Each structure stands twice: as structure tokens, then as C-alpha cells.
Amino acid sequence: MSIRAEIDDGVALVTLDRPARLNALDLAAAAELADLWRAFRFDASVRAAVVTGAGGRAFCTGIDREVTVPQPPSPYSLDDPLLYIGPKANDLWKPVIAAVDGMACGGACYLLGEAEFIIASEHSTFFDPHTTYGMVSAYEAILMAQRMPYGEAARMCLMGTAERLDAARAHRIGLVSELTAPGEAAATALRRAAVLAAQPTDAVQGTVRALWAAHEATRERALAQAPHLIALGNLPPERQAELFAARERAPGRPVTSGTSPPASPGR
């Protein structure tokens, strides 16, 4: 299993456990994650959750580049295996905190965008490599534009691998709610989740639902356009692969103060 779940005193710790792949998700891991959120809906012992990544180098780097995602032959259909990796996509309204320690990039936004708040260690970085590799950042950009000032989201998503949003700046603009020492994000998030789990759960879930409703209509309308934007704007897969290969041979240098390595297996 590449997704681990431990439950203690009302709090579930969900760990993406593929550190050798910087916690990039393959199809099996994406399905495991979706199944886990759905299972928590029926598990009264879970009243709050923390999602984090193993290894200390990355929270999540999106979908593994070695994965082939089968696509329908119709130009009107697009299958995205990450669409259902978040708690809200699985109708879970128990509060979820994201604990970031290291890189969070690309498809990690699906999880960050559906967490109630984000706690990150001081050496964490956030970025979105899509445009560098000839891919439209649609779902990621939409989710981040709802969590960050528009200009910050635009800069991160448009600049691709040339831009790394470091933890300090992420905290200043409100993407991250709390900074910790390296390696302490998950422990801090667990303490915050314990407070949430101690509150009357129906009141907490109702408040989560109310907060989400504040921007849900805009989000749904925007997400409806995402498949069409991707179909129109993405380079052919073979050209994307050429850009990935060139990048790995001669990685570019981030223009901001992030400390992450220049390449990762996710996208």
C-alpha cells in the first residue's frame, strides 16, 4: 500500500508513502486515496484528518510521470485520475489539514485545494511545472486561485519550473497558515487536528460545509471549463516527453528563493 492511514483519538493521519518517487501518485495510489476519504465518511472514529507525505523531501509531486493514463478516444472526454484524490471530491466534510514538508507541486494542488488549511515546514516550496512542459495548468490554477491572491496564483502557475514559492512567502500571502521547523509540520498539524476532533463533530462538519459553500459556485463553473482548456492547450504527449527529457538533462534554475531540487517525478 502506498497510502498509509493511522487513527488515534479521533484523528486520522494519512501519509503518501512513495518517498523514492517524491510521493508522486500512480493510478493505484490515487484510487487508494479516494477510497480512504470515502471510508472516513462512514467511520465515526474519525473526526478530523491530516494528510502529509513521507520522507521529508516532498509532500506530493502530482501524478507519476511514468504512469500512462488511458484516455477515451472522444475529444469531448478527458480522464484525470487526480480529480478524486481530495476529501471534498469524495463528499467528506470532516476537517482535513495538509502538512507540507518539502516540495508540493503540480497535482499536489488537488489536495492543497481541498484542505481546510495548510501547515508547512520552513524549507517547503510550492510550484506548478505544467507550462514548462507544454501542459495547461487548469485544475491546479483554479484551485490555487481560490486560496491565494490572484497575482500570486498567476505568477506561480504561469512561470512553471522557473518559479518556486518558498514557505515564508506562502505564509505571508495566506496560502500557509502556520510555519514549523523542518520535519515538524505533521506533528503540529496533528495537534491542531486534535483540537478539531474534540469539538462536536456535527457543528465542525457544518462549518466546513459553510466555508466551502462560500466559493463553491465559482469553483464549479471554473472546473467545468478545465477539460476543454487542457484539450486545446496541451502539447502532444510525445512533445511533452521531449521537454521533460531536456529539462532533466539540463535543469533550469528557480528564480525565487525556494530550496527544492530542480526536477521531480510528478507533474
On the 0-12 / 13-18 / 19+ scale of CB atoms within 10 A, 173 is middle
Which contacts qualify for 217-222: CB closer than 8 Å, 24 or more apart?
218/146, 219/142, 219/143, 219/146, 222/142, 222/145
pLDDT of residue 48: 98
| Residue 82, amino acid | L
Distances (CA, A) of 84 to 100, 142, 176: 20, 15, 23
Distance CA 266, CA 63 (A): 5
What does the pLDDT read at residue 259?
34
Using alpha carbons, select from 149, 68, 146, 65 the residue that is nearest to residue 107: 65
Residue 9 has a pLDDT of: 97
Residue 162, pLDDT above cutoff 80 = yes
Q: Is the pLDDT of residue 253 over 70?
A: no
Q: How much is the pLDDT for 251?
A: 46
Question: Which pLDDT value is given to residue 126?
Answer: 98
Q: How many CB atoms lie under 10 A from the CB of residue 68?
A: 7
Q: Note the pLDDT of residue 215.
A: 81
**Domains of the chain and CATH, by start:** 3-201+225-249 (3.90.226.10)
Candidate from 25-39, 175-189, 236-250 with smallest mean pLDDT: 236-250
Q: Would you say residue 250 has pLDDT above 80? A: no
Q: What percent of the chain shows pLDDT beyond 70?
A: 92
Distances in Å between the Cα of 42 and the Cα atoms of 39, 45, 200 are 6, 9, 16
Kindly state the cell numbers that stand for 114: 481541498
| Residue 208 dihedral angles phi and psi, to the nearest 5° | -60, -45
pLDDT of residue 69: 78
pLDDT at residue 208 tops 80? yes
pLDDT at 265 over 90: no
Instruction: Return phi, psi of residue 146, to 5°.
Output: -90, -5
Residue matched to cell numbers 465559482: 218
pTM of the model: 0.86
DSSP code of 72? -
Which pLDDT tens digit goes with each residue over 5-34?
999 999 999 999 999 999 999 999 999 999
Place 257 in a pLDDT band, splitting at 50, 70 and 90.
very low
Q: What is the distance between the alpha carbons of residues 207 and 197, in angstroms, rounded to a whole number?
A: 13
